[in-house]
Amino acid sequence: MLKILAFTDEYIKDAADIFADNYKLLREANPELPIKYEKPDAIVPALKNIIERNPSAVAMEGDRVLGYMTGYAGIKEYKGSALGVYIPEWGHSSLASDNKELIYYELYSYLSKQWVERKNYTHCITFYSKDSTLKELFYNLCFGLLVIDGLMPVQQIKTSEMDEVVIREAESRDFPGLSELDKSINAHLNKSPIFLYKPKAEADIEELKSEFFNDEVKTFIAEKQGKIVSCIRGMLGKGPNVDIVQDKDTLGIDFGYTSADMRGSGIATNVLAKLIEWGLNNGMKRCAVDFESQNREAAAFWLRHFKPICHSVIRKVDDRV
């Protein structure tokens, strides 16, 4: 019989084994993923740390761990004014079984009671995008798609010649133009139908400069008649992406924008190609990006080059409950 218990240290090894076995299957289908998460030890410290501080559960049958779930609870103003909880892609897993849907349902029911009792009304979970069981279960549990993480092997992409457009690395003299693109992307993300909230309306100049120009970051731009019309920013060995794509040879992308009047002519594709070439020359094996699923232009563009690897879905529980 299925039983849900608090996730304590004694279950960490079994939980990490289950995660690593499922990750191996994911990597078989996506060989560009880092190999390091195939070793159960890779997530043991993270599991130990998260279960110490947050409500966490295991699903058991007799002495056997069938699955587990845990997440970062008590996140202030999480996607709204309420407290929230985020369950990363390694914060849950289950044995392959016909019972998987039930295992997850019971784990979520057990934990969401504790989260809501602590006024954590916003729940977000990341899972492998091809996992149709979890997709359907969380859809039925009132979750909707928020963010897509995409992945591609670092290899050259096709580009086309463009008249009067120069693609090059950004230099500090380009900062005023980049700052304009930064304003535009924020306005784009803030407006209907995306409504992405940014706590600070105006970026701090020095902070913004260091986002575009620092030792780990490379910013590539397209320039037309002296005006910067497109930009993609990348970084070696890190990025804003889910944990399972992170490694020292992952090229992360955290900014992409083309001026509205210049879109659809292949400009961003050319800028991306330059960034990929830089990644290739610096030993990067995979490239990762994430974007809001409500951002139609971003989804159309990135999914031409990247395949979805993780979906993050979100639910807001009625706070009057």
Ligand X SMILES: CC(C)(COP(=O)(O)OP(=O)(O)OC[C@H]1O[C@@H](n2cnc3c(N)ncnc32)[C@H](O)[C@@H]1OP(=O)(O)O)[C@@H](O)C(=O)NCCC(=O)NCCS
Least spacing, CB of residue 249 vs ligand X, in Å: 22
Question: Considering the rule CB under 6 A, would residue 269 count as an interface residue with ligand X?
Answer: yes
In terms of CB distance, is 54 or 230 closer to ligand X? 230
Q: Does 265 bind ligand X (CB under 6 A)?
A: yes
Q: Taking CB under 6 A as the rule, does residue 122 contact ligand X?
A: no
Q: Which stretch binds ligand X (CB under 6 A): 34-42, 54-62, 207-215, 296-304?
A: 296-304
Instruction: Determine the Cα–Cα distance for residues 284 and 252; give it in Å rounded to an integer.
Output: 10
Q: In what order do the strands lie in the sheet with 165-169?
A: 72-75, 83-87, 120-128, 307-316, 144-153, 286-292, 250-258, 227-236, 217-224, 165-169
Residue nearest ligand X by beta-carbon distance: 266
The answer to whether residue 293 forms part of the interface with ligand X (CB under 6 A) is no
Please tell me whether residue 143 binds ligand X under the rule CB under 6 A.
no
Among 156, 160, 172, 192, binds ligand X (CB under 6 A): 160
For 151, the 3-state DSSP assignment is strand
Token pair in block for residue 12: 């960490």
By CB under 6 A, tell whether 300 contacts ligand X: yes
In the chain, which residue ranges form alpha helices assigned H by DSSP?
A: 12-29, 44-53, 100-117, 132-140, 175-190, 205-212, 267-281, 296-305
| Of the candidate residues 47, 154, 268, 313, the single one contacting ligand X (CB under 6 A) | 268
Complex with ligand X: residue 249 or 297, whichever CB lies closer: 297
CA 209 – CA 115 distance, rounded (Å): 39
Residue 178's CB is within 10 A of a number of other CB atoms, namely 23
Binding to ligand X by residue 306, rule CB under 6 A?
no
Is residue 301 involved in binding ligand X (CB under 6 A)?
A: yes
Contact 108, 89 (CB under 8 A): no
Q: Is residue 198 close enough to count as binding ligand X by CB under 6 A?
A: no
Q: Are 313 and 144 in contact (CB under 8 A)?
A: yes
Identify which range of 73-81, 128-136, 211-219, 262-270 contacts ligand X by CB under 6 A: 262-270
CB of 189 to ligand X, least distance (A): 7
SS3 assignment for 64-75: EEEEEEECEEEE
C-alpha to C-alpha distances, 38 to 149, 250, 309, nearest whole angstrom? 19, 16, 16
Nearer to ligand X, 264 or 283 (CB): 264
Considering the complex, state which of residue 112 and residue 230 has its C-beta at the smaller distance from ligand X.
230
Q: Is 188 in the site for ligand X (CB under 6 A)?
A: yes
Residue ranges in contact with ligand X by CB under 6 A: 160, 185, 188, 230, 256-258, 263-269, 291, 295, 297-298, 300-301, 304
